Amino acid sequence: MQLTPIRLLIVDGSPSFRGALRESLKGDGGIRVVGMAGSAGEALRRIRELNPDILTADPDMPDLAEALAAVSEPAVLPVIAVGRQAPVSGLPGLCDFVGKPNTHNFDDISAFRNELCVKIKIGCRPRTPGPAGAPEAVRPQPGERYHLIVMGASTGGTEATAEILRRLPGDLPGIVIVQHMPAGFTQMYAERLDRMCRLRVFEARDGSRVKAGTALVAPGGKQTSLGRDRNGYFVRCRWGTKINGHCPSVGFLFESAARAAGPDSVGVILTGMGKDGAEGLLAMRRAGAFTVGQDERSSVVYGMPMAASEVGAVEEQAPPEKIAEIIVRRVRG
């Protein structure tokens, strides 16, 4: 929980946009703009002077990637790209993207501000990297009741998923995660999770094996499903159309888990807008899986968990830090 305002540095080459962005964020008490920069060199100086928690930055700014790479610990300084289009190549610390609004359309500006505020809050992490900065892991017990864990999330899910994984021991059964993200961002997200967790975290590839102690993040732009053979579980990652409005789709993963794993699996549905995953989680529960959903109070958007709960797919509800305890208790109980 963020107890003090997030310290934000705005980096953009347009003085008018920097000023407008600063003014638009004044109404959010959870964010404080501590400075602005109009060039990559100035951004580097301001980062070192102000020690911000997070940056918004125009990804097309010349020399920005080099400047961010020069920061002593770029991996723990998250960056929200704010531009006309998503960056083709990654920036150090890049965790999300928001498109610049049409300044002549009030609704567009309002939607931009709301999206940016949410992504700043879910992208901001404590500045201690790696497992040394993670809370004490839930103590595992001997034995295993389940051998597969699948998780799905959307808006607010980057933070919720990270909170769960940071609390898990490094020897749990394999985990597969769908987070609604576009292509190009899921690999960076997986790398970020890997730095802060005891588990090893990778972006999934077609044919990746689901192994104990490892979490796989479904690649953006591909539909990810589970298969099973005599050697255990594996994932299929294929180009495909959107399902429930998303690619990857939480529901598509969950439905495949119901078929491939059934009672050998745990399903977790987290914060997000819409209904993706609700019917898939219900299929898992009907197949004998244990299912859990994020509670309303801790959700950024209580859409997906609510939809799952309403159709009877959820056995327990809890905030992310408690979900970690539930997973370990159920897997090792």
Report yes or no on 134 lying in a domain. no
pLDDT at 78: 85
pLDDT digits (tens, 9 = 90+) for 2-36: 447 889 999 999 999 999 999 888 877 778 999 99
Structural tokens at position 38: 């109009």
- Say whether both 229 and 307 belong to one domain: yes
Which residues lie closer than 8 Å to 311 by C-beta, 6 or more apart?
278, 279, 282
Provide the domain count of the chain. Answer: 2
At residue 131, the pLDDT reads: 46
Lowest mean pLDDT among 84-93, 108-117, 219-228, 253-262: 84-93
- State whether 94 and 145 are in the same domain: no
User: What is the Cα–Cα distance from 172 to 163, expressed in whole angstroms?
Assistant: 16
- Same domain assignment for residues 104 and 146: no
Q: State residue 58's pLDDT score.
A: 92
The answer to the question of residue 131 being in a domain is no
Q: Are strands 200-203 and 54-57 parallel, antiparallel or unpaired?
A: unpaired
Question: What's phi and psi for 2, nearest 5 deg?
Answer: -80, 110
Domain containing 209 — which CATH number? 3.40.50.180
Catalytic residues, by residue number, are 154, 180, 276
Residue 87, domain extent: 6-123
- Among 67-76, 292-301, 318-327, the range scoring the smallest mean pLDDT is 67-76
Q: Does residue 77 sit within a domain?
A: yes
Residues 6 or more apart whose Cβ sits within 8 Å of residue 328: 138, 139, 140, 141, 168, 169, 172
Q: Do 119 and 216 belong to one domain?
A: no
Please tell me the distance from the alpha carbon of residue 178 to that of residue 218, in angstroms, as a whole number. Answer: 5
What residues pair up with 10 in beta bridges, in sequence order?
A: 36, 56
**Does 280 fall in a domain?**
yes
Same domain, 229 and 320: yes
Give the residue from 75, 91, 123 where a domain finishes. Answer: 123
DSSP characters for 100-134? PP-TT-HHHHHHHHHHHHHHHHHH---S--SGGGS
Mean pLDDT of the chain: 86
Q: pLDDT for 193-229, tens place per residue? A: 998 899 999 999 999 999 999 999 999 999 999 999 9
Model confidence band, residue 137 (pLDDT cutoffs 50, 70, 90): low
**Co-location of 201 and 286 in the same domain:** yes
* Tokens, residue 198: 């005891």
Q: Which residues pair with 293 in a beta bridge?
A: 269, 317
Question: Could you give the CA distance from residue 254 to residue 308 in angstroms, rounded to a whole number?
Answer: 12
DSSP string, 189-229: HHHHHHHH-SSEEEE--TT-B--TTEEEEPPTTEEEEEEEE
Give the CATH number, domain containing residue 53. 3.40.50.2300
Last residue of a domain, one of 67, 90, 123: 123
Full-model pTM: 0.68
